[in-house]
Chains A and B, each alone.
Chain A
């Protein structure tokens, strides 16, 4: 794993890119490389994180403009090859807007920007993103979003449930998400999108270590 490199995508308006890089390099000793959104060469990275923030100022809809960047165009082949992609917060919004994950993220039910620690049930072990192989677990991660209410139609929800694509559910739904959904994977399991921020929970001194496992699992094959 010495040469394993995680690409951290930087859009204009990303603001969690350095946190992700710090958590991976400083807490997990995993090499990172910033990828400017106009780059479409993904040949020297082994996994990709789409970090949180406000790409393109959240203009039109969160993640709507980022979808048309050269990097996101190149992501299709990367995902098809089975490499892992983690979308956190705005990264999750980009993954739904660009069709890598189903559904959409809309304004929180109470219209507040919610900045809080939340308890989450790990629902599925698909993709190995969470340390829950043999039993249900609860973790605590920070959230920070104004538009994190997961929405999908009833057919999509049934598909998510039937195929075990729901990764995380809020214990106390803070934003009105359908079915308390906080994070989902694609069918193959190599793409995870979630609203909570695992990179902000990688060190005891800054609020816990429940995010470590998810970031560490980027290096899984």
Chain B
């Protein structure tokens, strides 16, 4: 069995308003940061997972992302995978 470290990024779809991102953008400007054009907040989920090779692990992660980590009505996801 191989072990992989996976980082999953879940983001609100561009069409979904992100009020928390807007509030943080506003605070960033108040802090004095210049040039911020947009700021959106997502989630990062770290998973360590075993499997027989990368393809099998990708299958498991795809299922997790599609059914649990993200709600695809409002969110997109992508992930990176590193063999340990």
Residues of A within 8 A of B (CB): 60-61, 64, 68, 96-97, 102-104, 106-111, 149, 151-153, 176
Contacts A103-B73, A151-B73, A152-B73; A108 near B19 (Cβ below 8 A): yes
Provide the bound-state CA to CA distance between A60 and B71, in Å: 10
Question: Is residue B1 contacting chain A, with contact meaning CB distance below 8 A?
Answer: no
24 contacts between A and B (CB under 8 A): A60-B68, A60-B69, A61-B71, A64-B68, A64-B71, A68-B68, A96-B73, A97-B71, A103-B73, A104-B71, A104-B73, A104-B74, A106-B12, A106-B16, A106-B74, A108-B19, A110-B19, A151-B16, A151-B73, A151-B74, A152-B73, A153-B15, A153-B73, A176-B17
Provide the main secondary structure of the chain A interface.
Answer: loop
* Contact indicator A111/B23 (Cβ below 8 Å): yes
Closest to B73 in A: A104
Residues on the A chain within 8 Å of B5, using CB: none
Residues on the A chain within 8 Å of B20, using CB: 107, 111
Provide the bound-state CA to CA distance between A86 and B15, in Å: 29
Closest to B12 in A: A106
Residues of B within 8 A of A (CB): 12, 15-17, 19-20, 23, 68-69, 71, 73-74
Provide the bound-state CA to CA distance between A215 and B48, in Å: 46
Q: A68 CB to closest chain B CB, in angstroms?
A: 8
Provide the bound-state CA to CA distance between A5 and B20, in Å: 42
Residues on the A chain within 8 Å of B19, using CB: 107-111, 176
Provide the bound-state CA to CA distance between A60 and B20, in Å: 16
Other than the known A96-B73, A108-B19, what 4 A-B pairs have Cβ atoms closer than 8 Å?
A: A60-B68, A109-B17, A111-B20, A111-B23
Provide the bound-state CA to CA distance between A110 and B68, in Å: 27
Q: B68 CB to closest chain A CB, in angstroms?
A: 7
Closest to A102 in B: B73
Provide the bound-state CA to CA distance between A103 and B73, in Å: 6
Residues on the B chain within 8 Å of A104, using CB: 71, 73-74
Residues on the A chain within 8 Å of B16, using CB: 106, 151
Residues on the A chain within 8 Å of B15, using CB: 153
Residues on the A chain within 8 Å of B17, using CB: 106, 109, 149, 176
Residues on the B chain within 8 Å of A109, using CB: 17, 19
Residues on the B chain within 8 Å of A103, using CB: 73
Provide the bound-state CA to CA distance between A167 and B61, in Å: 37
Residues on the B chain within 8 Å of A64, using CB: 68, 71
Residues on the B chain within 8 Å of A97, using CB: 71
Residues on the A chain within 8 Å of B71, using CB: 61, 64, 97, 104
Residues on the B chain within 8 Å of A107, using CB: 19-20
Residues on the A chain within 8 Å of B69, using CB: 60
Provide the bound-state CA to CA distance between A104 and B15, in Å: 13
Q: A97 CB to closest chain B CB, in angstroms?
A: 7
